[in-house]
């Protein structure tokens, strides 16, 4: 197995295709908040340090891990530079506690119960949502995020609008609400779509599908009535044709789907995006990253997400998948004139430096 490929998704491909490398940072929030019952073979992956130290980037080395104290470790191996316009910032959020989580922690076979079909949030889950919302607003992330992408399952959409949506209690006369009052067996008021980024539902980032009824979505027609301001235009079928009652989606297929999702992000113009998804999706999409990084960095990337946990990361387009151009670079030489580097002046223009 190609090591670089394994570092991303742990799956092999006989037809490699260009794919971006991913730089991970971490603003972990929400862990234990409440106690409750194929990349191109020639391109190594890259990771970044936690967001509190995100100016330092760690380059993932293929094939072997060199400890920081190894004499063979290049002193510059822990730093990488990338053009800003080739990067996007992602804020990953796992949904808050759902009714299936409570039952499943007590008895794993509960995940097979149709009582938890398209599971909704618990009252404790809504408390987790409100606490994460406060965190996001305190950091000012709500003013930076340009797009919210959500899995099209009830619990993720409830979490997404609760954390990143407008103020609660507004009547939706000026603009359609993100969520109507009491949606999905909640006791929550209407959530406004004013003064917040657009929301879009995407099947590629839904939970590992099949067998578990909690991972089967309702119809898009029903969702549109509950979440009027979420854009469902990218979902082709009203019914959930991806979920099957007797076959669970393979782990490696979820990983491949995760790669497709990350590549799809480069078709978007937004530079700072929130993604609200599931533990299984994040586990398989991210779980093979960091194998050649320091163990602490590996842990920061690959540990399971707690309910309503937030982690921030940066993805880098190293394969020119996107077509972004810089909005901050400046060409210089305006107006144009001689600007040879000083080291070359003496050789090419000795008359300009003979009296220097």
Mean pLDDT of 2-20: 34
pTM, 2 dp: 0.78
> Quick check: is 230 in a domain?
yes
> Considering 91, 95, 212, 284, which one is annotated as catalytic?
95
> Quick check: is 153 in a domain?
yes
- The pLDDT value recorded for residue 344 is 63
Sign, Cα dihedral of 50, 20, 89, 84? positive
| Residue 14 pLDDT greater than 60, yes or no | no
Q: Which pLDDT tens digit goes with each residue over 203-247?
A: 999 999 999 999 999 999 999 999 999 999 999 999 999 999 999
Q: Find out whether 309 and 94 touch, Cβ atoms under 8 Å.
A: yes
> Considering 4, 91, 100, 207, which one is annotated as catalytic?
207
- The pLDDT value recorded for residue 352 is 58
Residues spanned by the domain of 74: 3-316
> Quick check: is 326 in a domain?
no
Give the CA radius of gyration of the chain. Answer: 23
pLDDT band at 350; cut points 50, 70, 90: low
> Quick check: is 324 in a domain?
no
Strands 46-48 and 87-94, by their bridges, are unpaired
The verdict on whether 95 is a catalytic residue reads: yes
CATH of the domain at 104: 3.40.50.1240
The verdict on whether 100 is a catalytic residue reads: no
- 69 or 194: which carries more pLDDT confidence? 194
| Residue 134 pLDDT greater than 90, yes or no | yes
Q: How many domains does the structure of the chain reveal?
A: 1
- The pLDDT value recorded for residue 336 is 87
> Quick check: is 331 in a domain?
no
- The whole-angstrom separation of Cα 82 and Cα 40 is 18
> Quick check: is 87 in a domain?
yes
Q: Find out whether 125 and 309 touch, Cβ atoms under 8 Å.
A: no
> Quick check: is 105 in a domain?
yes
| Residue 296 pLDDT greater than 90, yes or no | no
């Amino acid at each position: 197995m190609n090591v670089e490929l394994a570092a991303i998704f742990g799956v092999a491909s006989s037809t490699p295709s260009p794919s971006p490398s991913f730089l991970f940072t971490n603003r972990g929030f929400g862990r234990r908040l409440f106690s409750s019952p194929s990349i191109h073979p020639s391109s190594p992956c890259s990771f970044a340090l936690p967001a509190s130290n995100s100016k330092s980037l760690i380059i993932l080395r293929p094939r072997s891990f060199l400890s920081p104290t190894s004499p063979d470790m290049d002193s510059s191996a822990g730093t990488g530079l990338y053009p800003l316009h080739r990067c996007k910032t992602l804020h990953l959020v796992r949904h808050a506690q759902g009714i299936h989580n409570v039952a499943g922690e007590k008895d794993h076979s509960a995940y097979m119960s149709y009582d938890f079909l398209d599971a909704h949030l618990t009252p404790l889950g809504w408390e987790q949502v409100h606490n994460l919302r406060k965190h996001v607003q305190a950091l000012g992330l709500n003013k930076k995020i340009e797009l919210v992408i959500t899995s099209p399952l009830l619990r993720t959409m409830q979490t997404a609008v609760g954390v990143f949506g407008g103020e609660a209690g507004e009547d939706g006369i000026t603009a359609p609400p993100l969520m109507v009052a009491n949606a999905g067996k909640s006791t929550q008021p209407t959530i406004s779509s004013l003064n917040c980024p657009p929301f879009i539902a995407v099947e590629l980032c839904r939970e590992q599908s099949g067998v578990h009824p909690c991972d089967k979505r309702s119809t898009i027609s029903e969702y549109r009535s509950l979440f009027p301001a979420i854009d469902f235009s990218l979902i082709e079928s009203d019914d959930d044709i991806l979920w099957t009652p007797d076959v669970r989606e393979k782990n490696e297929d979820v990983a491949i789907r995760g790669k497709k999702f990350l590549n799809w992000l480069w078709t978007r113009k937004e530079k700072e995006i929130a993604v609200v998804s599931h533990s299984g999706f994040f586990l398989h999409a991210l779980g093979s990253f960091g194998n050649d990084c320091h163990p602490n960095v590996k842990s920061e990337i690959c540990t399971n997400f707690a309910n309503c946990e937030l982690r921030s990361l940066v993805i880098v387009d190293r394969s020119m998948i996107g077509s972004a151009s810089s909005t901050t670079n400046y060409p210089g030489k305006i107006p144009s004139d001689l600007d040879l580097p000083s080291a070359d002046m003496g050789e090419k223009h000795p008359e300009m430096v003979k009296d220097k």
